[in-house]
Amino acid sequence: MDAFGRNDENDYATLQRLTLANIRDVPIVAELRIEQAETDDLVHTDTYELPAAEDGFEAVSVDCVWPDDPLRVMTRDADDENWEPLTTADRSDCLSLLAELHGGGVSYYSSTDECPIRSLECHGE
């Protein structure tokens, strides 16, 4: 059993950190939807105003409002009707996720590390 009470047979990443980034030169509204991957139950939904990118990108960190479960993270520009999904079920360890919103949609960049990542701010004891 690990520090979060999970047995080794649980094969998914703990989402530890989530950042939304705008790389466009205009401000945008990002929509975020997080669901439990196994049940499709809604865990979190919100919109975030991201200012225009000046030196590469502008970013907003999302507060840790999700459980330590297999999750489906979906992001989109409010002007787009298509959600871009990412699931944590096919990953392991702790996941730090960057959702980059650009003119062509959303790209996800992630890194993993042993849990917790730097601090116990999310899913810590």
- The verdict on residue 38 lying in a domain is yes
At 124 the pLDDT is: 61
Q: What is the CATH classification number for the domain harbouring 80?
A: 2.60.40.4150
Gyration radius of the chain over CA positions: 15
**pTM given for the model:** 0.86
Is 8 a member of any domain? no
pLDDT of residue 122: 80
Listing from the earlier edge strand, what are the strands of the sheet with 84-87? 42-50, 28-36, 71-77, 84-87
- Does residue 2 lie within any of the structural domains? no
121 is a domain residue: no
Torsion of CA 8, 12, 18, 22, to 10 degrees: 150
**Containing structural domain, residue 89:** 14-112
Task: Quote the pLDDT of residue 28.
Answer: 94
Count of the separate structural domains present in the chain:
1
Alpha carbon of residue 36 to chain centroid: 13
Tell me: pLDDT of 95 over 70: yes
Computed from CA positions of residues 120, 91, 37, 10, in that sequence, does the dihedral angle turn out positive or negative? negative
pLDDT tens for 22-80 read: 999 999 999 999 999 999 999 999 999 999 988 778 899 999 999 999 999 999 999 99
Whether 35 maps to a domain, the answer reads yes
